[in-house]
Chain A
Amino acid sequence: MSDIKYLAPGTIEEAVKAMQAAGGKGFVLAGGTDLLVQMRSGAREPQTIVDVKKIPEMTTIEELPGGGFRIGAAVSGAVIGEHKKLVAAFPGVVEAINLIGSKQVQGRASAGGNLCNSSPAADSVPAMVAAGVTVQIAGPNGRREVPVEKFPTAPGRNCLQPGEIVVSLTLPAPAAGSSDAYLRLIPRTEMDIAVVGIGVSLTLKDGTVTAARVGLGAVAPTVLLVEDAAKALVGSKLDDAALEKAAAACRAACKPINDKRGTIEYRTKISGVLLKRAAKIAAQRASGATVGGTH
C-alpha cells in the first residue's frame, strides 16, 4: 500500500548498503519467483527491493582452478542447466535446480533464491548439501562462508544477519570417480513441491564407495546432512545390506510432520526408498554410465 523503493545496484557493496539502510524491510530480488508471489499474496510487504541482477559476481558461473565452480546467487536455473561442464561434474545439483517450477520459472528462478527462501522442501538444497556446497555471504562486516547445511535455521529462516546477502555458491572440485544424483517424490510428475527430496553424492574406486554425502529434504524443519547414511555407504559396493542400512539411517533422521503433502509414516518410508534409488543413480553416473535422472 505504501510506495516501494526499487534499487538495482551494480556492486555487492552497494547492495549490502542498501539492505542495511532498509532495516528489516529490505528484500533481495533475483528471479522474484518467490518474492513477487509472496508480495501478491500479502505475505511480504517490502519497503525496499534490492535487485541484484546488475551485479556481475551474482549473475555469472565461474570455473575454479582444480575443477570446482562458483555459481552467482542470482544465476537462473536455465543458465545453470545449459552449462555443460557444470552438468557433467554435478548432474545431481543441476537436475535439482532444474526441478524448481516450470520452464518459464526456470528462466528466472535461481539456486541462491531457492536457498534464501529456506523452505525445508527446497529442491536445490539437498543436492547442494550432498555436493558439499559452501555459501558465500557478504554483509556490513565483510564476507564470510557457511556450509550450505548450516544456512537454513528453520522453515523460512536462515543464518543471514541484517544487511547480509548471499553472493554465490561454491561447489568444491569433485574427486575422481565422483558423481551425484537428486530424486524427489511428488504426487504429480512436475510443477509440485517435494514430499521428500534427497541428494546423494558418491565417490567410487573399483566399485567401492570411498566417500559419500547425503542431503535429505522435506522431512524436518531444515534440510538434513545425514552422516549416518553416508557412513553406511562408505566401504560398500552398494550391496543391498549397505543400502538398507543407509536407508534406515535416513528414516531415523526424519523428523517430519503430518501435513497436506504427506504423513509422517509416508515421508519416513519414502526417505529410505529414495536413498536407495538416488545412490544407485549416483553410482552409475560415477562409473561413467548415464542414467535418466528425475522421478
Chain B
Amino acid sequence: MTAQVYKWIGTRPKRPDGADKVTGRARFGADFNMPGQLIGRVLRSPHPHAVIKSIDTSAAAALPGVRAVVTAADFPEQENLIVPAGEMQVNLRDVTRTIMAREKVLYEGHPVAAVAAASEAIAKQALALIKVEYALLPHVIDVEEAMKDGAPILHDHIRTDGVQPVPTKPSNIAKRIENLKGDVAKGFAEAEVVIERKYTTAPVHQAYIEPHACLASAAEDGQVSVWTTTQGHFQVRGFCSRLLQIETSQIRVTPSEIGGGFGGKTVVYLEPVAIRLSQKSGKPVKMVMTREEVFRASGPAPGGAMTVKIGAKKDGRIVAADITIALQAGAFPGSPIGPACWCSMACYDVDNIRVVGFDVVSNRPKVAAYRAPGAPISSFAVESTIDILAQELGMDPIDLRLKNAAMKGTKTHYGPVFDRIGLVECLEAAKNSAHYKSPVKPGHARGIAAGFWFNVGADSSAAAHVGEDGTVTVISGNPDIGGSRASLALMAAEELGVDYDKVRAVIADTHSIGFNFVTGGSRVTFATGMAVVNATKDAIKELRVRAAKIWGVDPEGVVWEGGKARPAGHNVGEFEPLTLAQIAAQAGKTGGPINGHAQLNAQGAGPGFGVHIADVRVDAETGHVVIDRYTAVQDVGTAIHPSYVEGQLQGGAVQGIGWALNEEYIYNAKGHLDNAGFLDYRIPVASDLPMIETILVEVPNPHHPYGVRGVGEVPIVPPLATIANAVARACGTRMTSLPISPPRLSAALDAAPKLAAE
C-alpha cells in the first residue's frame, strides 16, 4: 500500500540482539554482579489490610552477616503530588508507600522491610527475625464490592475526584470521569434496537518471564550506579532521585537486556530499596524477585466491571452508546481508567456517546501498565455488545463495523479528531482475507472484533556517531523491548544510504545520552525513530560540510544521495562522489569527529487499529475452547522491520487469548492470592495455539518521516472479544465474564437451558 520505495525500510535483516540471546551471552537484570556485593531481600505483608503498629528489626540487624536493614523510616515522606510516569500518572506519596509500606499494609505482599546480607540464606534468616506487629483490618478485593457503601476504606484521605459537590466522606472510588459527545437520551430515542449487557474481566498479570532484578552501588562520594531490567532507565533515575532525594546527575542507571515488560517495567520496586541498602551498608546490593513476589507485589492489570448500552437503527447505523467502566486500581489510585474510557468507542463514528469511568482502590498490588492499558477491558465489553447487535440485526459483523467505522475527520467522544487512520482498510482486509473467505468448519464458529490504541510520542534524544572507517553507531536511550534497535538501524541506513550492516544501534545509559521517556505507548520506533532520523540528518549535514571542505566549495553545493556526497549541480564543479568511508577517513583533517545529535518531543503519533478473526470449537461437555485458526489484521503505518511487526501482532494476540481463556488472579476469602505462580496462573502454551496469521495493512502516518505508527499495543485489544464472540457463536452461550475457563464455560452451558426455560 505504500507508494514509497525504500532500500532498507521493510526488509527483514537478522536481529542485532539475536546471537547474544540464543547463545546466552546477553545480560539480563539478574546477570550483573560486583565484587563484595550483598544480597537484598524484602519482608512482605502476610495480610491484605492492616495497620503496622510496630516493626522491630533489632534481632535481624544483629544477625552475623547482615549489613543493613531498611523500613519506611529510611525513605523521606513525599507530598501528595501527581506526576506522569510512563503511560500512567503516579503520586509520589503513593509510590514511596509502594516501595515500603508506612502506616498500613494494603495488600498481601506489600513490602514492610528489607535487609542486605552476605548471602541469600542469611538474608532470609534475617527476614524471619524481623518482628512486625499488625492490627488487622477488613479487606476488599473485588472492584464492585469496593465501590459499595460500607466497604472497608483503604485511604481516609481520598474523596472521590470529579464529583460535585465534593464528598465529605472517604471512598474507595478515587475518581469519576465522564466523556460526553452529543445527546445520549436523544440518540436512544431514535434507536430501533437497543442492546444492554453487563461485563466483568479478571485482573491479569503481564507475565514477563524475567522477574524484576537490579544491582545498586552507592559510592562513598555519593555517586550511585544502578543496573536494572526496565522499560525506562530515565524513569528509574527520576523515581530514585525524588524518592531518595539524590540529584539526577549523581545516579547513573544502565538498563539490561529485558526479558519482557509489556508495561509492567515502567515503575520501580527494588531500585530505591537497593540504593538505600547500598548506602547504609557501603556495599553493592543485588536484589532479584522470586516469581511469587512478582505475582504478589508487582503491578498487574486491573479487573473491570462494565455496563454497555448501544442503540442502533435496523440498518445497523449506531445512534447512541452509554457505557460505564469501573477499574480496580489496586492499593493506590491510578488505574488506566482514562484510556479505558477513551478507547471504548474510538473505533466508531457515533453521534451520541457517554462514557463514565471510575478509578477504584482495593487490597491488591497497585496496577501497572499492561499493553494498551485499559483498552482490552473496555473493548471486550463494547465489541461483545456490537457482536450481539450484529446477531440481533442478522448482519455480518464486519459489515456492521464498516457501517459505523471511524475515519479521517471523525470526532472522538474524548475530544480529538482523527487524521488519516486505517480502520476501514483493516476491516476490508479482514473481509477479503483467506481466513474470512474460507468456510467455517463443521462444529466450529467464527468471531471477529476490532480494537484501537492511540499510540504516543513524547521525549526522545538520539545521536549518530560516524566511526573512522565510515560505519555508524546510532545511540538512543530506550530499552529495546520489541525490536527497536533493528528498526532504528534500518531507518538510519535508509537515511544515510548505506548498508544496514554498517549501522549499529545501541542503548546508552542515563549518563551517555539525553533524556528518553519510557519504552511504552508504542512510541519508540515512532518518536525515538524520529530522533534517530534527525540525528542522522544532522550527521549528514556535517558530512556535506566536510565534503565541501575537501572540494573547496560551499556546503550548499553538496548534496547527500545514495550514501555519497555529490556536487549539487554542474555549476559547483566536477567532483567524484565521496563515500561515507572516504569522508570519515579524512575527518581528522577536515574538522575532527563527525557526529549528529537530535532531541525532540514527538507529536503526531498515528492511532492504530486492528481487526482479529478467530475460528473456535467448544467441547460442550467440558467447556474447553480450542482455537482452530486465528488471524490478526492491523494498520501498522509502515512496517520498518516486518518480522518484528508480525511478532508484535502475534505476541499481543496470544496475550489477549490468555486473558480471554484462562488468566486470572484467584484470591481466597482471606485476601491471599492463591495462584502466585505459572502453574496455576495459566498463560497460553504453544500447544494451546494455532499459528497466529498476520496481515499488515500499511496506511502511513503522515506525521512521521517513514510513516511509522506504533504497533505493539493494538494487537492485545481485540482478542478478548474476538474469542468471546467466537465462543458465543459456537455454543450459543454468551460469556460476559472473563476468563472463559473450562469450569466457567461448562457451568454457563449447564445453566443455559434452564435460563431458556424460565
Q: Which residues of A contact B573 (CB under 8 A)?
A: none
Binds A, one of B300-308, B699-707, B717-725, B738-746: B738-746
**Cα-based distance from A238 to B543 in the complex (angstroms):** 85
A188: Cβ under 8 A from any B Cβ: yes
A81: Cβ under 8 A from any B Cβ: no
Residue of A nearest to B291 (CB): A41
Q: Which residues of A contact B679 (CB under 8 A)?
A: 192-193
Interface string of B519-563 (1 = CB under 8 A from A): 000000000000000000000000000000000000000000000
Cβ of A44 to closest chain B Cβ, rounded Å: 15
The reply to whether A260 and B666 contact each other, CB–CB distance below 8 Å, is yes
Contact partner, B688, options A1, A188, A262, Cβ 8 Å: A188
The reply to whether B743 and A260 contact each other, CB–CB distance below 8 Å, is no
The reply to whether B680 and A188 contact each other, CB–CB distance below 8 Å, is no
The reply to whether A187 and B747 contact each other, CB–CB distance below 8 Å, is no
The reply to whether A187 and B674 contact each other, CB–CB distance below 8 Å, is no
The reply to whether B685 and A188 contact each other, CB–CB distance below 8 Å, is yes
Cβ of A264 to closest chain B Cβ, rounded Å: 10
The reply to whether B666 and A188 contact each other, CB–CB distance below 8 Å, is no
The reply to whether B685 and A190 contact each other, CB–CB distance below 8 Å, is yes
Cβ of A36 to closest chain B Cβ, rounded Å: 15
The reply to whether A191 and B685 contact each other, CB–CB distance below 8 Å, is yes
Q: Which residues of A contact B674 (CB under 8 A)?
A: 259-260
* 8 A Cβ contacts from B668-685 to A: 674-675, 679-680, 682, 684-685
* 8 A Cβ contacts from B652-703 to A: 661-662, 666, 674-675, 679-680, 682, 684-685, 687-688
Contact partner, B742, options A185, A191, A193, A260, Cβ 8 Å: A185
B54: Cβ under 8 A from any A Cβ: no
Interface string of B616-635 (1 = CB under 8 A from A): 00000111100000000000
**Cα-based distance from A254 to B247 in the complex (angstroms):** 64
The reply to whether B685 and A187 contact each other, CB–CB distance below 8 Å, is no
Q: Which residues of A contact B121 (CB under 8 A)?
A: 1
Residue of B nearest to A267 (CB): B743
Contact partner, A266, options B662, B682, B687, B747, Cβ 8 Å: B747
B2: Cβ under 8 A from any A Cβ: no
**Cα-based distance from A185 to B621 in the complex (angstroms):** 11
Q: Which residues of A contact B89 (CB under 8 A)?
A: none
Given A1-B121, A265-B747: A185 and B682 interface contact (C-beta under 8 Å): no
A269: Cβ under 8 A from any B Cβ: yes
The reply to whether B743 and A263 contact each other, CB–CB distance below 8 Å, is yes
The reply to whether B682 and A187 contact each other, CB–CB distance below 8 Å, is yes
Given A263-B747, A273-B622: A187 and B742 interface contact (C-beta under 8 Å): yes
**Cα-based distance from A195 to B662 in the complex (angstroms):** 14
A189: Cβ under 8 A from any B Cβ: yes
**Cα-based distance from A195 to B121 in the complex (angstroms):** 36
The reply to whether A190 and B743 contact each other, CB–CB distance below 8 Å, is no
Given A1-B125, A269-B746, A273-B622: A190 and B741 interface contact (C-beta under 8 Å): no
Q: Which residues of A contact B688 (CB under 8 A)?
A: 188-189
Count, A-B residue pairs, CB within 8 A: 51
The reply to whether B687 and A190 contact each other, CB–CB distance below 8 Å, is yes
**Cα-based distance from A188 to B623 in the complex (angstroms):** 12
The reply to whether A273 and B682 contact each other, CB–CB distance below 8 Å, is no
Cβ of A276 to closest chain B Cβ, rounded Å: 9
The reply to whether B622 and A188 contact each other, CB–CB distance below 8 Å, is no
* 8 A Cβ contacts from A31-46 to B: none
Interface string of A275-287 (1 = CB under 8 A from B): 0000000000000
Residue of B nearest to A272 (CB): B621
Q: Which residues of B contact A187 (CB under 8 A)?
A: 624, 661-662, 682, 741-742
Residue of B nearest to A276 (CB): B621
**Cα-based distance from A271 to B120 in the complex (angstroms):** 45
A19: Cβ under 8 A from any B Cβ: no
Contact partner, B743, options A188, A192, A262, A273, Cβ 8 Å: A262
Q: Which residues of A contact B124 (CB under 8 A)?
A: 1
A83: Cβ under 8 A from any B Cβ: no
**Cα-based distance from A169 to B661 in the complex (angstroms):** 38
**Cα-based distance from A193 to B682 in the complex (angstroms):** 11
Q: Which residues of A contact B662 (CB under 8 A)?
A: 187-188
The reply to whether A189 and B687 contact each other, CB–CB distance below 8 Å, is yes
The reply to whether A266 and B743 contact each other, CB–CB distance below 8 Å, is yes
The reply to whether A270 and B682 contact each other, CB–CB distance below 8 Å, is no
Cβ of A51 to closest chain B Cβ, rounded Å: 23
The reply to whether B742 and A266 contact each other, CB–CB distance below 8 Å, is yes
The reply to whether B682 and A188 contact each other, CB–CB distance below 8 Å, is yes
A261: Cβ under 8 A from any B Cβ: yes
Q: Which residues of B contact A273 (CB under 8 A)?
A: 621-622
Q: Which residues of B contact A191 (CB under 8 A)?
A: 685
Residue of B nearest to A273 (CB): B621
Given A190-B685, A266-B746: A261 and B680 interface contact (C-beta under 8 Å): yes
**Cα-based distance from A192 to B624 in the complex (angstroms):** 14
Interface string of A201-244 (1 = CB under 8 A from B): 00000000000000000000000000000000000000000000
**Cα-based distance from A188 to B742 in the complex (angstroms):** 9
**Cα-based distance from A215 to B750 in the complex (angstroms):** 26
**Cα-based distance from A270 to B125 in the complex (angstroms):** 45
The reply to whether A188 and B684 contact each other, CB–CB distance below 8 Å, is yes
Cβ of A292 to closest chain B Cβ, rounded Å: 14
Residue of B nearest to A270 (CB): B622
**Cα-based distance from A103 to B674 in the complex (angstroms):** 27
**Cα-based distance from A188 to B685 in the complex (angstroms):** 7
Residue of B nearest to A190 (CB): B687
Residue of A nearest to B623 (CB): A266
Residue of A nearest to B290 (CB): A41
**Cα-based distance from A23 to B448 in the complex (angstroms):** 62
**Cα-based distance from A188 to B662 in the complex (angstroms):** 8
Cβ of A21 to closest chain B Cβ, rounded Å: 25
The reply to whether B680 and A260 contact each other, CB–CB distance below 8 Å, is yes
Q: Which residues of B contact A259 (CB under 8 A)?
A: 674
Cβ of A90 to closest chain B Cβ, rounded Å: 24
Residue of B nearest to A1 (CB): B121
**Cα-based distance from A56 to B273 in the complex (angstroms):** 52
Q: Which residues of B contact A262 (CB under 8 A)?
A: 743
Q: Which residues of B contact A193 (CB under 8 A)?
A: 679-680
Q: Which residues of B contact A265 (CB under 8 A)?
A: 747
**Cα-based distance from A189 to B685 in the complex (angstroms):** 8
Besides A187-B742, A260-B674, 7 more A-B contacts (Cβ < 8 Å) are A187-B661, A187-B682, A188-B662, A188-B682, A193-B679, A260-B675, A266-B623
Chain B residues in contact with chain A, CB under 8 A? 121, 124-125, 621-624, 661-662, 666, 674-675, 679-680, 682, 684-685, 687-688, 741-743, 746-747, 750
Chain A residues in contact with chain B, CB under 8 A? 1, 185, 187-193, 195, 259-263, 265-266, 269-270, 273
- 24 residue pairs from A and B, CB less than 8 Å apart: A1-B121, A1-B124, A1-B125, A185-B624, A187-B624, A187-B661, A187-B662, A187-B741, A188-B662, A188-B682, A189-B685, A191-B685, A195-B743, A259-B674, A260-B674, A260-B680, A261-B680, A262-B743, A263-B747, A265-B747, A269-B746, A269-B750, A270-B622, A270-B746
Q: Which 4 A-B pairs have the closest CB atoms?
A: A266-B743, A189-B687, A273-B621, A260-B674
